[in-house]
Amino acid sequence: MKYFDEYRDKRLCQSIIERMKELTTEDINIMEVCGTHTMSIFRSGIKDLLPENIHLISGPGCPVCVTPISDINHMIALARMDRAIIATFGDMINVPGSSSSLKREKADGADVRVIYSPLQALEIAREFPQRQIILVGIGFETTIPLLASIVLEAKKKAITNFYLLSLTKLMPPIIRALLQSQEVKIDGMLCPGHVSTIIGAKPYQFIPDCYHIACVIAGFEPIDILIAIYHLILQKIKGIPQVENKYRRAVREEGNLIALNLITQVFSTVDSEWRGIGIVADSGLDLKSEYSDLNARNFLVKVETTKENNQCRCGDVLRGVATPLQCPLFQKLCTPEHPVGACMVSSEGVCAAYYKYSSV
């Protein structure tokens, strides 16, 4: 497809990597905070092609992975309601809760349906007016406007059997929390291109301003990622951190104002729990009170107590503190067929990426 295929040119990839080698021999740590970046980096082999002093660290960029077990237990409890239909994106059904998963509930008779678009949840609601349709609303800023649009449509069309369980997460607050924690030395932040199509470039300004860390918004083709890494290194060695947009064909400085307005119309910020990280202030969204009749949190259900496998290092992996190779369960007890932690379940999870693409 035009505007994308030309960003896969092998010669240009090699040239950018050669130029990187000329820049510095200093160790530089770059974090990507988008699961789609993680997969693109692994799929294209970028991690192995970079100079040895450039280290890529994966952060909490996979929405399925960052959803805590307490929320998995909540969706399982909702799935057990008599007339409920759970509509969810695919990976979520495999994530283990304390003692079950949506997939296991489905096998036991619960009505759990995998959807590609949140629009399908409304279609199911129209088709089954006697049932309660609960959309599991996970995602970052890329997906949140879609959920807002669905909520408004349900209101407008007076669809009264549609509910949203909002588990949405916001990118800038979690980046701030990671940088504040100083657990990992980060020299550059590879900012998520598709989240940025919605929020624009400004929300990242605190990264260079407050933390003096380089920041580049990147697309998802190999050249998009390599040129972004090249500029992160340049910013670092020049000592002039700033927010650079290297995905200008898709990201405008101001983002998508219509999408941003939809978000603020429907949602308000709340403190939100992230797997392995804990509760981060104002890092999630829930429905505003005027939409409370659509809020699936209002169903009174018995949610199981959180139980985690204490050997699983998903939390450390999500914070960039450990790689999957440092987890005792990786490739042994935890595989894509039998995942223990969410990072192995999701197709965008770091453990799944290591399992699929790493030669170790």
Partner 1 sequence: MCLAIPGKIIKKINCEEAEVLLGNIKKSVRIDLLPEIEEGDYVLIHAGYAITKINSREANEINQIWEEIQS
Binding site for partner 1 (CB under 8 A): 1-4, 6-7, 12, 15-16, 19, 34-36, 62-64, 89, 91, 116-119, 138-140, 142-143, 145-146, 149, 192, 194-195, 197-198, 223, 227, 230, 248-252, 256, 258-259, 262, 346, 348
Q: How far is the CB of 191 from partner 1 (least distance, A)?
A: 12
- In the bound state with partner 1, the residue whose beta carbon lies nearer, of 254 and 290, is 254
- What is the DSSP annotation of 257-289? HHHHHHHHHHEEEEEEEETTTEEEEEEEEEE-G
Q: Please state whether 3 falls in left (phi above 0), alpha (psi between -120 and 50) or beta.
A: left
What does the angle CA 330 – CA 331 – CA 335 come to, to the nearest 5 degrees?
A: 95
Smallest separation (angstroms) from partner 1 to the CB of 116? 7
Residue 89 phi/psi, 5-degree rounding, is -70, 150
What minimum distance in Å lies between the beta carbon of 80 and partner 1?
A: 25
Q: Give whichever of 6 and 48 is closer to partner 1, judged by the CB atom.
A: 6
According to DSSP, the residues that pair with 245 across neighbouring strands are 217
User: Least distance to partner 1 from the beta carbon of 201, Å?
Assistant: 13
Q: Which residues contact 356 (CB under 8 A, 6 or more apart)?
A: 42, 336
- How far is residue 219's CA from residue 190's CA, in Å, rounded to a whole number? 10
Sign of the C-alpha dihedral computed for residues 206, 286, 151 and 82 taken in this order: positive
Could you give the CA distance from residue 277 to residue 274 in angstroms, rounded to a whole number? 5
Residue whose C-alpha is closest to residue 270's, from 142, 168, 148: 168
Q: Tokens 């009505």 sit at which residue?
A: 111
Least distance (Å) between residue 167 CB and partner 1: 12
> Which residue's CB is nearer to partner 1, number 145 or number 284?
145
**Of residues 80 and 113, the one with the C-beta less far from partner 1:** 113
Q: How far is the CB of 311 from partner 1 (least distance, A)?
A: 26
Q: Which is nearer to partner 1, 32 or 105 (CB)?
A: 32
Read off the tokens for 54: 């450039």
- Residue number with CB closer to partner 1 (222 or 241): 222
Quote the CA–CA distance of 134 and 87 in Å, as a whole number. 6
Place of tokens 């933390």: 211
CB of 283 to partner 1, least distance (A): 16
Q: Nearer Cβ to partner 1, position 211 or 274?
A: 274
